[in-house]
Amino acid sequence: MPSENRVVWIDLLKFFGLLFVILGHINSPASQFIYSWHMPLFFFISGFFVRNPSSFGDVIKFIKNDFNRLMVPYFFFSVVGLFA
């Protein structure tokens, strides 16, 4: 049973998107067609979950949080990759 906060049609879009990603990566005859739209589908879905910052302070907080969440692991694994 889905929770109150879930949007069923978005979950279905994600399911079909993931299914088509798998079909595209197993080199099916429809791979070129699948590659033409499966990534834009995920960007479209992610747009539903982006919050609009209401002030400049919110923008700075958003950038700092994303930097820590994304770039710190990126730099860490880049250094590990250089030594490997």
Residue pLDDT, tens place only, 10-64: 888 888 888 888 888 887 788 888 888 877 887 787 777 777 777 888 888 878 8
Residue 1 reports pLDDT greater than 60: no
Three-state secondary structure of 30-49 = CHHHHHCCHHHHHHHHHHHH
- The pLDDT of residue 2: 56
The residues, ordered by sequence, that sit 6+ positions from 21 with a Cβ below 8 Å of its Cβ are 34, 38
- The pLDDT of residue 61: 85
CB 68 within 8 A of CB 76: no
pTM above threshold 0.85: no
How far apart CA 43 and CA 38 sit, in angstroms, is: 9
Band (pLDDT 50/70/90 cuts) for residue 80 is very high
